[in-house]
Amino acid sequence: MKNRPKIIQICGIKGILTALFIVTCLAAGFIAFPGYVAMTIWNHFTTGITPAINLYQGILLWAIVAIIYFIATKQRFAVSFGAPKELNEEELKVLMERVKMQSQSRMINKMMLKEFEEVKKEELPNENKSSENETITK
């Protein structure tokens, strides 16, 4: 009975092109650019000592550095997937009581507004008659 919302929905050619664009941008930002930086740094500091590396080898160097970092720090990935926790019986009772109180207060507010509008409608004709009487007496 769990309804899982659709977070990503790709419809048609436009959706596929948008998804490809997003994946390309993410790959460029998190793989290609750091690989280019690793390649540039390697080629700058090891000139004459070792052969120069190309972009593919820079990406591999970046991957090695990233994997070593995650292993050495023993951190978990920042992204995690999971279903939200379900409410227990007490929390559900409290929530239902709050909903019930809110619906009752809304009903009372509506009734008060209707009563207020009726009183205003009754006062308006009385005010018009009294203002007419004042103008006649002047």
Is the separation of the CB atoms in 73 and 92 below 8 Å?
A: no
Q: Band the pLDDT of 128: cuts 50, 70, 90.
A: low
Is the separation of the CB atoms in 57 and 80 below 8 Å?
A: no
Percentage, residues of the chain above pLDDT 70: 78
User: Which amino acid is present at 47?
Assistant: T
CA angle 19, 21, 26 (to 5 degrees): 95
The mean of the pLDDT values for the chain is: 83
Q: Quick one: tokens of 54?
A: 């190309």
CA distance 107 to 98: 14
Q: Quick one: tokens of 17?
A: 């092109």
Residue 1 scores a pLDDT above 80: no
Residue 6 scores a pLDDT above 80: no
User: Which amino acid is present at 120?
Assistant: K
| Arithmetic mean of pLDDT, 63-69 | 90
Top-confidence residue, 95 or 1: 95
DSSP 110: H
What is residue 116's predicted lDDT score, i.e. its pLDDT? Answer: 87
Residue 134 scores a pLDDT above 60: no
Residue 95 scores a pLDDT above 70: yes
| Arithmetic mean of pLDDT, 46-71 | 91
| Arithmetic mean of pLDDT, 62-88 | 77
